[in-house]
Amino acid sequence: MNANTIPLQEVLPWSPGIPRNILVCDSVETDGSFVLSTMTARLFSSPSSMSSSFAPGPKGMSRQRSLSRKALWLSGNASTERQVASTLKKIGCDAGAAYLRNSKNNSSSEKQSCNGLAIRSLAVEISDHILGKKNESNDEFDAENYLKNVYKDIKAWLNDYDNNTEQEGKVAELDTSWIILDDATALASILGDTLVYCFVESLINLLGRKETSSTRQCGFIIRCSGDVDQMLHKIEGSEGKDHSGWVGAGGLAHKQAVNDTINRTLVPWERALEESVDVIVDVLPLLSGFSREAHGRLIFSKTPNGRGWKNVQSTRNNNPSAFALGSTNSKTAGSKWNKLIFNYCIQDNGARAIRLRAA
């Protein structure tokens, strides 16, 4: 194993106990689903994901403290529930293995109750509705009503745990749950850009309400495509190296006019999500291309109006994420640089980060 690599879970600046709205931007060249799987595995492997019953109550009776976290995985692409759980199991997530063991149960609530993980394949549900497998009235599929029902189900899911905790007599403590949408671009290709964008923004507003849950906070992880922005960046870079000065087809003036038209017409709706989230994870291809050791690059950044990941400077000595900081020390603490950059490689048992050596 390369001495300069370390498991990706250990260098993520993300903390499962701090609710944040996270946007993961990838492309066709570099699929970013492994980032979501790694975060989910870390969520259920953290110490807070285990329950404790050692707190004595009055009159010598023990009171069970509820510390378990939960996550709702919404699959907007062709991945089924079993495929998502199998991926989590493959990288060592016990919640994925428990989900597969209980996959034969008819009730999804029973599958979630034992491990805290709920998986819902929206693309599969949509295909079933369109094909008439779940549409008893044979009405035409309404995408807007479908997303409204999904929104109601998510809202009920947020409050379901707190109600069960009170009924079972557990001591409910403030903890963080997570909703994972993988991926919004694929879902938009099925239901339309406008509906999916409104759906995502509605979820962000829902999770931002303080009255959503009195005992539980919830974070939101969204994966979408950044293909258009990456394409425009490549075109701009190519034009910068072009010194052809003639006018007409193929000339510099003609290419500039074409690029201006593209910039006006191809404004991806995913770009607007950057204004609604706290942090962004960019999954980019290497300029040198793929290699056996490195498959791509990860850039963790904070949005101008976002809350950021956490106070990395104060916990750098005790947090493995300092590995990813590299040369970001006291000299750059007061600067505007707020990004973590490192390469990654994907292996059978998960993703690993690669140390970037300073020149």
Q: What does the pLDDT look like over 60-71, one tens digit per residue?
A: 333 344 456 789
Range(s) of the domain holding residue 247: 227-267
Q: Are residues 188 and 245 in the same domain?
A: no
Hey, is 237 helix, strand or coil? Answer: helix
The tokens describing 301, both together, are 């950044």
Hey, is 61 helix, strand or coil? Answer: coil
Question: Mean pLDDT in the chain?
Answer: 75
Closest by alpha carbon to 294, among 347, 339, 227? Answer: 347
Contacts 24+ apart (CB under 8 A), 287-291: none
Taking the model in full, what pTM does it have?
0.77
182, 76 contact by CB (below 8 A): yes
List the beta bridge partners of residue 74: 120, 181
Per-residue pLDDT at 89: 92
Q: Are residues 254 and 212 in the same domain?
A: no
Q: Are residues 92 and 218 in the same domain?
A: yes
The DSSP code sequence of 1-44 is --TTEEEGGGT----TTS--EEEEEE-SSS--HHHHHHHHHHHH
- Provide CB contacts within 8 A for 226, sequence distance 6+: 25, 26, 27, 268, 270, 282
Q: What does the pLDDT look like over 280-339, one tens digit per residue?
A: 999 988 888 778 788 999 999 999 888 888 744 444 444 444 444 433 443 444 445 568
The domain tally of the chain equals: 2
Per-residue pLDDT at 173: 53
Domain assignment present for 2: no
Domain assignment present for 76: yes
